[in-house]
Amino acid sequence: MVASAPLWQRLIVLAPAFIIGAGLVLGVFLLLGRAFVHSVRESGHKRAIIAGLFVLAGAVVVLTYLGVELPRE
């Protein structure tokens, strides 16, 4: 029944699900981010962790620019 309704009606019906889902995703990212920051602060190798993150981000950017794709099954 929902699939046969106009687009605006479907969006109104699904809006609470979108809002709750976005809130859950945001909450998980906040929790994981705070845990990561706490782990970095407690670590004795802060510079190594930060440098590793930059190297990882740089590798992702370079490989994406070069068009490298992961194999798919």
Residue spans of the domains in the chain: they are 7-66
Confidence of residue 73 (pLDDT cuts 50, 70, 90): confident
- At 72 the pLDDT is 84
Contact criterion met (CB below 8 Å) for 49 and 43:
yes
What confidence tens digit (pLDDT) does each residue in 18-42 have? Answer: 999 999 999 999 999 999 999 988 9
Question: With left for phi above 0 and alpha for psi between -120 and 50, is residue 48 left, alpha or beta?
Answer: alpha
> What is the percentage of the chain residues whose pLDDT exceeds 70?
96
The SS3 of residue 6 is coil
pLDDT of residue 2: 57
Residue 8 has pLDDT above 90, yes or no: no
Q: How far apart are CA 3 and CA 10, in angstroms?
A: 8
